[in-house]
Amino acid sequence: MKKIFALILLLSFAVTKNSSAQIVNPAHWSYITEDAGNGEFNIMISCTLDDGWHIFSKDYVGISVPATFTLEKSDDFEVVGKLQEQGEMIKEEIDLGGEKEMAMYYKNRVVFVQTVKLLKKDVVVKGSMDYMTCKQVCIPPATYNFEIKLNTN
């Protein structure tokens, strides 16, 4: 009897370990830069999502976490204008158990664009995107960190 109990206990640990090792990461990030002239660059942070997943807009206000773009402060560059989103935004009223809110999100792909003006010739721009992805349920918020080298050559 003790051997059977030990075997069941051992198998349950093995199953638990394997299931907890699977990390869901439906958001795939990349970036490119575009020289906009006059020492200005467009930083384009792209998020491609696995099928069925979505990411909330920076303008979303509600129970879930909106996309938040942050640049580390630096004397080497200045931010020009506001963060822009490129993609097909979906606006949908959702019912949260009696309360309704307007969800604003992107499926498949979204590109976040921020313009910066270089104040020095060679600059490193460091920053992050905080975001939440959802399918039928949401997974905990995550962060994509980036470091981009720019120069005015």
Measured distance CA(149)–CA(120) in Å, rounded: 12
Whether the predicted pLDDT of 4 surpasses 50: no
- Which residue is listed with tokens 């490119």? 32
Q: What is the pLDDT of residue 22?
A: 65
The reply to whether 1 falls in a domain is no
Q: What is the pLDDT of residue 11?
A: 39
6 vs 123, higher pLDDT: 123
Number of structural domains the chain divides into: 1
Is the Cα dihedral 83, 88, 92, 97 positive or negative? Answer: negative
34 part of a folded domain: yes
Closest CA to 54 of 142, 109, 130, 133: 133
Residue-range definition of the domain harbouring residue 96 = 25-151
Provide the sign of the torsion angle of the four alpha carbons 69, 131, 49, 96, taken in this order.
negative
| CATH number, position 78 | 2.60.40.1250
pLDDT tens digits, one per residue of 74-111 = 999 999 999 999 999 999 998 878 888 899 999 999 99
Residue 2 covered by a domain: no
Question: Does 37 reside within a domain?
Answer: yes
DSSP string, 78-142: EEEEEEEEES-EEEEEEESSS-EEEEEEEESEEEEEEEEEESSSEEEEEEEEEE-EESSSBPPPE
Tokens of 135: 């399918």
43 part of a folded domain: yes
DSSP conformational letter for 59: T
Residue 2 has pLDDT above 60, yes or no: no
106 located within any domain:
yes
Q: In what order do the strands lie in the sheet with 100-107?
A: 89-95, 100-107, 54-56, 133-134
